[in-house]
Amino acid sequence: MLLNNFYASLCGDLKSYILKINYSYKELTLVLRKENMLDFFKILKNKYFFTQLIDITGVDYLHYGVDEWSSQKATSEGFSRGIRKDMLSRMKQYNNEPRFAVVYHLLNLSRNLRLRLKIFFEDNSNLTMHSLTDIWSVSEWYEREAFDMFGFIFLGNPDLRRILTDYGFSGYPLRKDFPQSGNVSIRYSEEERRIVYENVEIDPRVNIPKVIRKDNRYKDC
């Protein structure tokens, strides 16, 4: 099965399961409907032989596409001139558009085909998703990580608990509004031979991208 044949199937018999198809840079990404996701994943595994679930992760689209810096031209006076004050958005409230998505990566071993799938949460206050443990047992650990880092609830996961953070940890570290100061970290001290609690040492800062200049040696993609 070649990728173009699979793409034709997606545009035909499987179209009812899919909200959006994007094929770029030789990578295929599907945005799925949440309500019949389990049926679609079973078809991918049993009919199209995507037998391996590589990873499950999440995306927080808070302030997605908002650029705090002008990256198309150089500035002459550093930070105060480079930052676009009209685009500062770290304290702005998010609108009602879907903010979170679960991302799945599948692999067809026999054909070496890779597939990325996204499912958005329609309600930002109800982050529940069906578990894939009955289809791929390995998803149990991946779902636990997404639960720990983003707060996603996977219905049907037999052991949904934190896997990377401490038992008493509060919050979800990979959300974009997770505070970078005021929290406490936990570690084992070799000197004291016990668990110690310390203030989180993360300095809030604005990421400063490199200036992207037009280069006449290269054609626009």
Residue 194 forms part of a structural domain: no
Residue 188 forms part of a structural domain: no
The rounded percent of the chain whose pLDDT value lies above 90 is 45
User: Which is higher by pLDDT, 152 or 95?
Assistant: 152
Return the biggest CA–CA distance within the chain: 64
b (16+ CB within 10 A) / e for 71-105: eeeeeeeeeeebbeeeeeeeeeeeeeeebbbbebb
pTM: 0.75
Residue 109 forms part of a structural domain: yes
Residues 94, 62 contacting (CB under 8 angstroms): yes
Average pLDDT, the chain: 81
Residue 220 forms part of a structural domain: no
User: Which is higher by pLDDT, 164 or 89?
Assistant: 164
Confidence of residue 210 (pLDDT cuts 50, 70, 90): low
Give the model's pLDDT for residue 81.
46
Residue 195 forms part of a structural domain: no
User: Which is higher by pLDDT, 187 or 69?
Assistant: 187
The answer to which of 20-29, 59-68, 119-128, 178-187 has the lowest mean pLDDT is 178-187
Give the model's pLDDT for residue 57.
96
Paired with 24 in beta bridges are 27
Three-state SS at 190: coil
Residue 54 forms part of a structural domain: yes
Give the model's pLDDT for residue 221.
47
Residue 15 forms part of a structural domain: yes
What is the tally of structural domains in the chain? 1
Residue 131 forms part of a structural domain: yes
| CATH number for the domain that contains residue 113 | 3.30.460.80
pLDDT one-digit tens code per residue, 150-201: 999 999 999 999 998 877 788 898 998 887 766 777 788 899 989 888 876 6
Give the model's pLDDT for residue 107.
95
Alpha-carbon distance values, 84 to 64, 66, 124 (Å): 16, 10, 28
The rounded percent of the chain whose pLDDT value lies above 70 is 73
Q: Which domain holds residue 9?
A: 3-61+97-159
Give the model's pLDDT for residue 87.
47
Give the model's pLDDT for residue 90.
46
Q: Is the pLDDT of residue 77 over 60?
A: no
